[in-house]
Amino acid sequence: MNPGNWNLNPLENYAGLPYEQTNSVGRWNVLPYNDQLNSVHVAGPSYNNGVFFQSSRPFQSNETEVVVQALQQETQTPSQNKGKGKSSYDKWSNEEQSFLVDLWSEKQDHLESKDAGIAWQEMCQEIEINFGTKKTVEKCQKKNKYLIDKYKDAKTWKKNSEWRPIKKNWSHESATTPALKSGPFHAAELQKKDQQLENEKQEPITELLSLYLGDLSTLQFAHRTSLITKRICTHHYELLILVSSAPANAERRNNIRLTWAFRRALKPRWTTVFLVAQEKTKPLSNFLLREDEVYGDLIRADYFDQYWNQTRKIQMGFEWAIRYCRFSFLLKTDDDVFVNTAAVFSFLNEPIIPNVMLYAGMQYKNPWILRSGKWKVSREELAGVHYPDFCAGFGYILSRDVVASFVDAFSIVPFFRLDDVYVGMLANKTGIKIVHVDGFELGAPRPELQCIPSTNVKTLVRHGVKGNCLIELYNRAVLSRRDIDRTDGFSHT
């Protein structure tokens, strides 16, 4: 099959081919088989002997939807398990129930829209893929109603949720009632619904969060950031990647999704989200709402975006990670950066790298406080001669315990507008030592080498990489790996 020619008959050309989940809202892409090992192009992901290449153009939305519908039709088979007690088809494990609750919370926008039927089908498919048990839409709805009825009267409610809080008068039927107009996306209606929920102060219950995240009673959040997204992670991840991004940088975010952030495993070892603030212009603000509805990977804040608000992004990203995601390590980076995820995992699995108390990146030792230029800081802002040691802000790795200690320290370390310096201040306050890593690169030694991996040291993260250069680095990284594990995307030692 020529990767540049897409036939829209999914049953004829895609039946039986591998397909993978590409984001948290249940979108599915079929991975076209590339017969020619040397046919390396750019843009959309394709599949060849366990290696990802780039096809000649990205997936188009109408093509993806055709495939989605075909896969849904193929998987909608009636149960054959009737009559002889409860089979695996009827039984629900605790893990399946937790997963169902998580999917339900994640997809409430869709369950309250004209696409509710498709959303329920996708939920059942994800349960089948992840646990190997077939569940019809009727079974999923029935179990979901039982869980919500069981927990909806809880007395303890948490603060406003992005993923549609449970109303005390919530009924199972209301979840499938269309709430949005048919046709194109209506951002104004979603904003109106969000405001109504905020005014009603109806919040998701602690018990439902605890089903997935465990006991939340030990978490302390004395300092409140500007976080407004409360979406829960789908799995436990070895690595959580936070990408700081400006609202207008949609092309950069899409390039990242198509390259190093692309996840081909059903239970991937890492996930990537983008930290985005509010936008003053209405068209772009509406576009961000639409983008988040499609991809489900934006973590949003309630302040307007500007360069000197980067520290606020870090604060709200760290708070979201600790509150709503289970992970072992966190990588903070920017949207003009290439991340070699396989190399990052290799680094994290080195025997000398600790699982706790880790703050690693390109270290600045005893850095001067600049009093002039772009990064100038007045003596009124900060007295002294030197900053505490810190890692360059384009990329650094933190273990979960360090992220938690930093969040606790937000209330005692004064706000400072240089985000990488501020993280260094948090580390200094909490007694965290920095591990310098050569693989975090501010850029290539020479401009002509920017799109080529380093030869003397393994590139983990490289700053200043955009567009075709990002795709080139990604292709080179993929082609250099011959021992890819089909279950998780990469192998490591």
CA 366 from chain centre, in angstroms, equals: 34
* Whether residues 250 and 385 fall in one domain: yes
| Interatomic CA distance for residues 15 and 81, integer angstroms | 26
Q: What is the pLDDT of residues 44-96, one digit of tens each?
A: 333 333 333 333 333 333 433 433 344 344 334 443 433 444 454 567 887 78
In this prediction, residue 59 carries a pLDDT of: 35
SS (H, E, C) the chain: CCCCCCCCCHHHHCCCCCEEECCCCCCEEECCECCCCCCCCCCCEEEECCEEEECCCCCCHHHHHHHHHHHHHHHCCCCCCCCCCCCCCCCCCHHHHHHHHHHHHHCHHHHCCCCHHHHHHHHHHHHHHHHCCCCCHHHHHHHHHHHHHHHCCCCCECCCCCCCCCCCCCCCHHHHCCCCCCCCCCHHHHHHHHHHHHHHCCCCEHHHHHHHHCCCCCCCCCCCCCECCCCCCCCEEEEEEEEECCCCCHHHHHHHHHCCCCCCCCCCCEEEEEEEEECCCHHHHHHHHHHHHHHCCEEEEEEECCHHHHHHHHHHHHHHHHHHCEEEEEEEEECCEEECHHHHHHHHCCCCCCCCCCEEEEEECCCECCCCCCCCCCCCCCCCCECCCEEEEEEEEEEHHHHHHHHHHCCCCCCCCCHHHHHHHHHHHHCCCCEECCCEECCCCCHHHCCCCCCCCCCCEEECCCHHHHHHHHHHHHHCCCCCCCCCCCCCC
Domain stops at, among 151, 174, 200: 151
Quickly state the pLDDT bin for 458 (edges 50, 70, 90). Answer: confident
Burial readout 325-342 (b: 16 or more C-beta within 10 A, e: otherwise)? bbbbbbbbbbbbbbbbbb
* Whether residues 352 and 453 fall in one domain: yes
| Interatomic CA distance for residues 120 and 434, integer angstroms | 46
Domain assignment present for residue 39? The answer is: no
Out of 68-82, 221-235, 366-380, the most confident range is 366-380
Q: Is the pLDDT of residue 154 over 80?
A: no
* Whether residues 450 and 352 fall in one domain: yes
Q: Is the pLDDT of residue 441 over 80?
A: yes
Range of the domain at 327: 237-490
* Whether residues 270 and 140 fall in one domain: no
Among the listed ranges 16-20, 110-114, 383-387, which one has the minimum average pLDDT value? 16-20
Domain assignment present for residue 15? The answer is: no
What is the mean pLDDT of the segment spanning 353-366? 95
In this prediction, residue 150 carries a pLDDT of: 65
Question: In the structure encoding, which two tokens stand for residue 276, read together?
Answer: 């985005």
Return mean pLDDT, the chain.
Answer: 69
Q: Is the pLDDT of residue 173 over 50?
A: no
Domain assignment present for residue 81? The answer is: no
Quickly state the pLDDT bin for 486 (edges 50, 70, 90). Answer: very low
In this prediction, residue 12 carries a pLDDT of: 30
Pairing verdict, β 270-278 and 298-304: parallel
120 contacts 76 by C-beta, under 8 angstroms = no
Q: Is the pLDDT of residue 392 over 70?
A: yes
Quickly state the pLDDT bin for 355 (edges 50, 70, 90). Answer: very high
| Interatomic CA distance for residues 393 and 308, integer angstroms | 13
In this prediction, residue 264 carries a pLDDT of: 62
Looking up tokens 């090992």 gives 37
* Whether residues 252 and 389 fall in one domain: yes
| Interatomic CA distance for residues 18 and 77, integer angstroms | 20
In this prediction, residue 197 carries a pLDDT of: 41
Task: Report percent pLDDT > 90 for the chain.
Answer: 31
Domain assignment present for residue 142? The answer is: yes
| Interatomic CA distance for residues 187 and 175, integer angstroms | 19
Domain assignment present for residue 373? The answer is: yes
Domain assignment present for residue 436? The answer is: yes
Determine the Cα angle at 148 with ends 146 and 153, to 5°: 120
Model's pTM, two decimal places?
Answer: 0.57
Q: What is the pLDDT of residues 243-282, one digit of tens each?
A: 999 999 999 999 999 999 987 666 688 999 999 988 878 8
Quickly state the pLDDT bin for 331 (edges 50, 70, 90). Answer: very high
Question: In the structure encoding, which two tokens stand for residue 178, read together?
Answer: 């269309």
- How many independent structural domains does the chain possess? 2
* Whether residues 369 and 470 fall in one domain: yes
Domain assignment present for residue 251? The answer is: yes
What is the mean pLDDT of the segment spanning 350-367? 95
CATH number (domain holding residue 279): 3.90.550
Closest CA to 423 of 439, 406, 436: 406
* Whether residues 134 and 263 fall in one domain: no
In this prediction, residue 266 carries a pLDDT of: 60
Domain assignment present for residue 477? The answer is: yes
* Whether residues 331 and 479 fall in one domain: yes
Domain stops at, among 115, 131, 151: 151
What is the mean pLDDT of the segment spanning 36-40? 30
Q: What is the pLDDT of residues 306-322, one digit of tens each?
A: 777 889 999 999 999 99
Domain stops at, among 135, 151, 167: 151
Closest CA to 454 of 439, 468, 469: 439
* Whether residues 147 and 241 fall in one domain: no
In this prediction, residue 186 carries a pLDDT of: 37
Closest CA to 352 of 462, 230, 437, 241: 437
